[in-house]
Amino acid sequence: MMTTAAHLTTDELDAFLEDHPTPRATSHLATCAECQMMVTLDREVVYHLGALPEHVPSYRFADGVMARVTVGHPVSAPVVVPATPRALAARRRVLVAGGLTGAAVAGAFGWAILNPAAALGFASPALQQGGHALWAGMQVGLSSAVDQPVLAWVTDMVAAPMRAIPILVGAAGAYALALTGMRHLLTEPAHHARG
């Protein structure tokens, strides 16, 4: 006879009763009389439960139950989950890594303050290249946006500023209306004094 640890689990029994047995369950049932008896008993229970008539409670059942229910004040107790050794080790690693990173950044700033010429010597090429890259990217983005046929009306407005004036005035008016609306939404209502 097999040990209890090797018997079928409830999930395996359910799968067997639903005609989806696992290979382990099939091979185990071929040799275990205890699990064969369990499958037979489970089949009987399922059969008898299926033969029961369906019970539909009256429409007043829920009202009757809810009339007897008393709701107290809910108490929310903090759930304290004990930290596992693995979680504590992860926290330590994060704290150590954060401390080392902070110390490295503070040390770099301290060195830069004490040696400004050397720090600028390191940083100047990077800042110059970054500025050039940003400017080139902006130029490329603007030139490709202007060349799009969808934005032809923008280039036409820039070419003839008189066409842009009505749109700019309309946009300014919409902005003013939006600010006024926001002001009304954000101010507290006035409490009228009764006299």
Answer whether residue 123 is part of any domain.
no
Answer whether residue 36 is part of any domain.
yes
The dihedral through the CA atoms of 100, 104, 109, 111 has a sign that is: positive
What separation in angstroms does the CA of 143 have from each of 77, 149, 152, 161? 61, 12, 12, 20
Domain that holds residue 3: 1-50
Residue type, 181: G
- The rounded distance, in Å, linking the Cα atoms of 2 and 29 is 11
Average pLDDT, the chain: 81
DSSP reduced 3-state for 84: coil
Answer whether residue 94 is part of any domain.
no
pLDDT at 125 exceeding the cut of 70: yes
- The rounded distance, in Å, linking the Cα atoms of 192 and 195 is 9
pLDDT in tens, 14-51: 888 888 888 888 888 888 899 889 889 988 988 888 88
Q: Provide the number of structural domains found in the chain.
A: 1
pLDDT given for residue 193 in this prediction:
54
Phi, psi at 138, each rounded to 5°: -65, -40
pLDDT given for residue 2 in this prediction:
43
Answer whether residue 74 is part of any domain.
no
Full-model pTM:
0.29
Tokens of 29: 């049932």
* Angle, CA 139 vertex, CA 136 and CA 140 arms, to 5°: 85
Query: DSSP code of 4?
Result: G
pLDDT in tens, 132-156: 888 888 888 777 776 777 667 766 7
Answer whether residue 21 is part of any domain.
yes
Answer whether residue 39 is part of any domain.
yes
Answer whether residue 37 is part of any domain.
yes
Residue type, 151: L
